[in-house]
Amino acid sequence: MNFFEQQVRARKQTRWLIVIFILAVVAIVAAVDLVVLLAMGAISWDPAAPAMPAGEMVRSHLPLLSGSTFGSVAVIGLASLFKTASLRSGGGQVARQLGATLVESDTRDMNRRRLRNVVEEIALASGVPVPEIYVLEQESGINAFAAGFTPSDAAVAVTRGALEKLNRSELQGVIAHEFSHILNGDMRINVRLMGALFGILLLALIGRRVLLHSHLAGRSSRDKSGAVVLLIAVGLMSIGYIGLFFGRWIKAAVSRQREYLADASAVQFTRDPSGIGGALKKIAVYSDSSFLNADTEEISHMLFGDGQKMMLFSTHPPLNERIGRIDPGFHPEELDRLAARIQREQSRAMEESDRPDREMAKAADGLFDADKIIDQIGKPDWERMMLAAAIAASIADPVRQAAHSTEWAPEVLFYALLDSSPEIREQQLLLVAGRMGSDSEAQVRALLEAGGLPRPEQRLPLLEVAFPALKRRPPDFVTRVLDTVKALIDADGRVDVFEYLLARVISMHLWESHNPHQVRISGRKNLQNFRQEILQVMAILARHGHEDPQAAEAAFQAGLSELALDGDLAMPVVEDWVKALDTALPELDRLKSTDKEKLVRALAEVVLHDGQMSIPELELLRAVCDLIHVPLPMLSALQQTSQQS
């Protein structure tokens, strides 16, 4: 199941969740009406009393039932909307609600630095911005989760137990598992599910609060009003268990198969089954397992492992089954040996290298095939991770530190846009000084001196690394940064396609990080709805990637062969490509997932047609895909160099 099929599955699951949620609401409303009838004496407790027909009972108490039904639906609906609205600020909000603390970019703690390195490598390999990183300091169990509506507002959180008990390979497997949820649309469903579950669980919370805090609860049973309130409170708590039943059923139905898929994706990410397998085995043998002290009822479906012991409707498959799917040779007896070894080693400090070995030559076996590119969208392989690690290592330390810094992240973006011409570069630096101040200009010059001009393959990774720090700045400051970026691009009197797309990617991710609830990852349109826009984008890629007009035409036709479009489709002449892309890309973002797959395959054929796989061309394809919400994995920037040497 590839990235686009996962998106279709996510849309179907969302519709299915709506149906089940409606059924849960109907069951709860019916139960509330029954409790109200009992409390008001409409239904007699005396079995000898004559039973009133149901239809007559409803008609005689219609105003009462209408009021209770309306009140129940209103409480559930408003509670769900309130909870969903409270999560609109992004995945970090979910982490903070659980008491997690943000991992600062300049942290000196070895475990947190290792965590940050692992998250950044997987993010760069996946082609998405680096998410916010959190640690649940008070939790000794081994667990993790990813939260957010989109990759732009995503957050990844791990427990202190995961940091301290897992080695680098195991931590990498856990983080890769969470990135599978980010890339495949699971994360968005999880957040929506949190809002829906809060609504159907709220009645139980109200009943518990009334029962515990109402002074009427302690009154004598002879106090009729007190007895009524007490009965209602007990009834609401009982009804709450109906909501709990439905909530756990929904979570179990949604989560179990996705956990298997995420485990498999983690193995493909890391090409090391022992990583995620080892993490699951440690969960099985440690006494605190994956359980959390925090109340996990709302987020249990988002966690890497079970957040609490569940007797019914567990959100996760049994650990032995998960381990067995990853390691077919697994025997439960291995857990006893692992427990004994852990007990012997608990007195030692974990010694892990801070960086993986840089297998540069291996990483150079790039994705120069459209089918391989499609297969690895949302689940890049080990070579992409090694390539990401290699590119991250190639960035000078002062530049990397500045990208992590909230103070200097904007200057990293300016640095990434510096021109190779000394005259134009000086003009750009003057623009930075005029718009952002002399301190900003001095920092950009310092970055230039420390790292030299950024190489083309470093530019998008620099954006992705700097993004978490940049989005924490105030909106008015971010607007100044974006205006300065535009000025730097316009400094030479012409706009390079990649520079244009880089600026659009920055703007898109920043806007989405502040408005995640308004983002749609896919739409309902098909290719025939946007024939002209598709042809224009393909023509722009073909002409900018091939200097020879005949080669450009051949590349365009190669891409066209992947599309089943009707009519005479000659390569159009695009006079104003900036205006054409501004018009076309937002429209193409409305394509349904299956048609986006066809479009990306066609664009890949255009770029890869002549076999001259230049760095700017491949990164241009990544940027275009980013703008239509397709996270293209990092493409090899090394093979072309090795071929030319």
pLDDT value of residue 46: 52
- Our answer to whether residue 178 is catalytic in this structure is yes
What is the dotted CATH code of the domain comprising 91-185+259-345? 3.30.2010.10
Which DSSP string corresponds to 3-29? Answer: HHHHHHHHHHHHHHHHHHHHHHHHHHH
Angle at 274 between CA 270 and CA 277, to 5 degrees: 100
Q: For 500-554, write each residue's pLDDT tens digit.
A: 888 888 888 888 887 887 777 778 888 888 988 999 999 988 888 777 888 888 8
Q: How far is CA 462 from the centre of its chain?
A: 19
Q: For 215-249, write each residue's pLDDT tens digit.
A: 444 544 445 555 666 666 676 677 777 777 777 77
Q: What's the CA dihedral at 426, 431, 434, 437 to 10 degrees?
A: -80
Segments of the chain scoring below 70 in pLDDT: 1-14, 17, 39-61, 203-205, 207-233, 235-236, 253-254, 288, 295-297, 310-313, 342-369, 378-379, 381, 566-568, 612-616, 635-645
Tokens of 283: 């969960």
pLDDT value of residue 361: 34
Q: Is 531 within 8 Å of 563 (Cβ atoms)?
A: no
Which DSSP string corresponds to 88-125? Answer: TT-HHHHHHHTT-EE--TT---HHHHHHHHHHHHHHHH
Which DSSP string corresponds to 406-440? Answer: TTTHHHHHHHHT--SSHHHHHHHHHHHHHHH-HHH
pLDDT value of residue 201: 73
Which DSSP string corresponds to 40-62? Answer: TTSS-S-TTSPPPPHHHHHHHTH
Q: How many Å apart are CA 470 and CA 482, to the nearest integer?
A: 11
Which residues, other chains included, contact 525 with Cβ-Cβ below 8 Å and sequence gap of 6+?
587, 590, 591, 592, 595
Q: How many Å apart are CA 243 and CA 458, to the nearest integer?
A: 50
pTM comes to: 0.69
Q: Is 90 left (phi over 0), alpha (psi -120 to 50) or beta?
A: left
pLDDT value of residue 621: 83
Which residues, other chains included, contact 601 with Cβ-Cβ below 8 Å and sequence gap of 6+?
370, 371, 373, 374, 562
Which DSSP string corresponds to 161-208? Answer: HHHHH--HHHHHHHHHHHHHHHHTTHHHHHHHHHHHHHHHHHHHHHHH
Tokens of 355: 């960086």
Q: How far is CA 272 from the centre of its chain?
A: 23
Rounded to whole angstroms, what are the CA distances from 386 to 88, 123, 336, 588, 618? 34, 12, 34, 32, 18
Residue type at 206?
I
Question: How large is the greatest C-alpha to C-alpha distance in the chain, in angstroms?
Answer: 100
Q: How many Å apart are CA 24 and CA 45, to the nearest integer?
A: 27
pLDDT value of residue 369: 65
What residue spans define the domains of the chain?
A: 3-89+191-252, 91-185+259-345
- The residue behind tokens 């979910």 is 94
Q: How many Å apart are CA 514 and CA 152, to the nearest integer?
A: 9
Q: Strand, coil or helix: what is 155? A: strand
Instruction: Spot the catalytic one: 121, 139, 170, 178.
Output: 178
